[in-house]
Structure 1
Amino acid sequence: MDKIKKTDEEWKNILTEEQYNVCRRKATEAPFSGTYNYCKENGTYKCACCGNKLFGSEAKFDSGTGWPSFFEPISEDSIKYETDSSFGMLRTEVMCAKCDAHLGHVFEDGPAPTFSRFCINSVSLNLEKS
Structure 2
Amino acid sequence: MTDTAGTEPCVIATEAALVFLAEIRRDHPDILFHQSGGCCDGSSPMCYPVAEYRVGETDVKLGEIGGVPVYISASQYAVWKHTQLIIDVVPGRGGMFSLDNGRERRFLTRSRLFTGGEACALPIDEARPAE
Same-fold call, TM cutoff 0.5: no
TM-score, normalisation: structure 1: 0.28
Q: Which has the higher strand share?
A: 2
TM-score, normalisation: structure 2: 0.28
Structure with bigger gyration radius? 2
